[in-house]
Chains A and B, each alone.
Chain A
Amino acid sequence: DAKTTQPNSMESNEEEPVHLPCNHSTISGTDYIHWYRQLPSQGPEYVIHGLTSNVNNRMASLAIAEDRKSSTLILHRATLRDAAVYYCILRPRTASKLTFGTGTRLQVTL
């Protein structure tokens, strides 16, 4: 499985935008970029995914670099409820399993 690299932790102020980076230089052409998050004491939760184009949904935006070797998850206005571990995962088109790394622990402060 292609690897992803994320910062161990990030901090944000409430109501501010947050940009969570992910590097995936060995991504293959059929790998989808998925983001999940895990709130404290809960199961992982789907956030967003994309292949080549930028994506928006009600939770977040995903910006994918033109060469696809990196991506950024954007939370437009962080709230305390967004404090979680965020996982960037490459998922081959033909695979259904998710391979989690260590993710980025996001702290949100008032």
Chain B
Amino acid sequence: EPEVTQTPSHQVTQMGQEVILRCVPISNHLYFYWYRQILGQKVEFLVSFYNNEISEKSEIFDDQFSVERPDGSNFTLKIRSTKLEDSAMYFCASSYRGDTEAFFGQGTRLTVV
């Protein structure tokens, strides 16, 4: 069964450093998403991406965040200068259309120290 894969599974970084979280969405999907979940809290929407541009973003997704689809198979989330409060599980998801079910990856646990 096709799946969304995320790497790395766990990343530890120092405050102020840049991190790039990587995702390989399901190959025929057209919509891509990033969500995050701070430990013990809700899953929060960050951004959706379609047709090589951001289609929607949340208030959390400020100028420190950016997304890219560099090569037609990968989808990345970059955090430019990490803060302690960026520590969370980050989930990538993809869907064939905007109104079809989303498939989530297993997540990348980001720890900022």
Contacts and interface: CB of A to CB of B under 8 A. Distances in A.
Interface of A: 32, 34, 38, 42-46, 49, 87, 91, 93-102
Contacts, number: 55
Given A43-B107, A87-B43, 20 more contacts: A38-B43, A42-B107, A43-B4, A43-B91, A43-B104, A43-B106, A44-B43, A46-B101, A95-B56, A96-B31, A96-B50, A96-B56, A97-B45, A98-B35, A98-B43, A98-B102, A99-B45, A100-B45, A101-B42, A102-B42
Chain B, interface size category, equals 20 to 34
B42 A45 contact: no
B106 A46 contact: no
5 contacts: A43-B4, A44-B43, A44-B102, A49-B101, A94-B98
Given A38-B43, A97-B33, A100-B42, A44 B98 contact: no
B18 interface: no
Main secondary structure of the interface of B (DSSP, over half): strand
B104 A44 contact: yes
A45 B107 CA distance: 12
